[in-house]
Amino acid sequence: MRLTVVGCAGSFPGPDSPASCYLVEAPYEGWTYRLVLDLGNGAFGALQRYTDPYAVDAVGLSHLHADHCVDMCSYYVARKYHPDGPRSRIPVYGPFGTADRLAMAYGLPLDPGMRDEFEFRAWVAGEAGRLGPFAVSVAPACHPVEAYALRLEHEGRSLVYTGDTGPTDAVADLARGADLLLSEATFHDGVDNPPDLHLTGRQAGEYAARGEVRRLVLTHVPPWYDPDEMAAEARSVYSGPLDVARPGAVFEL
CA distances from 35 to 55, 73, 190 (A): 10, 18, 36
Of residues 8 and 103, the one with the C-beta less far from Zn ion: 8
Q: How near is the Cβ of 96 to Zn ion at its closest, in Å?
A: 16
In the complex, minimum distance from the CB of residue 143 to Zn ion, in angstroms, rounded to a whole number: 6
Whose CA is closest to 197, among 145, 161, 140?
A: 145
**Closer CB to Zn ion, residue 80 or residue 246?**
246
For residue 112, whether the previous peptide bond is cis, meaning omega lies within 30 degrees of 0, is yes
Q: Is 90 helix (H, G, I), strand (E, B) or coil?
A: strand
DSSP helix/strand/coil, 209: helix
Our CB check for Zn ion shows the closer of 65 and 79 to be: 65
Beta-sheet pairing, 31-37 with 21-28: antiparallel
Q: Can you tell me the distance from the alpha carbon of 24 to that of 4, in angstroms, rounded to the nearest whole number?
A: 6
Shortest Å distance, C-beta 164 to Zn ion: 4
Rounded to whole angstroms, the Cα distance separating 206 from 10 reads: 20
DSSP 164-191: S--S-HHHHHHTTT-SEEEEE--B-TTS
Closest contact distance (angstroms) between CB of 69 and Zn ion is: 10
Smallest distance from Zn ion to CB 224, Å: 14
User: Measured from the CB atom, is 223 or 240 closer to Zn ion?
Assistant: 223
The residues of the shown chain that bind Zn ion, judged by CB under 5 A, are: 65, 67, 164
Nearer to Zn ion by C-beta: 67 or 189?
Answer: 67
CA distance to 27, 130, 133, 135, 179, per residue, from 155 (Å)? 10, 13, 9, 10, 12
* Contact between residue 199 and residue 185 where contact means Cβ atoms under 8 Å apart: yes
When the beta carbons of 125 and 253 are compared against Zn ion, the nearer one is 125
CB of 82 to Zn ion, least distance (A): 29
Cβ atoms within 10 A of the Cβ of 83, count? 4
Closer residue to Zn ion, CB minimum distance, 153 or 164: 164
Helices of type H across the chain: 43-50, 66-69, 72-80, 98-106, 169-174, 201-210, 227-235
Smallest gap, in angstroms, from Cβ of residue 193 to Zn ion? 14
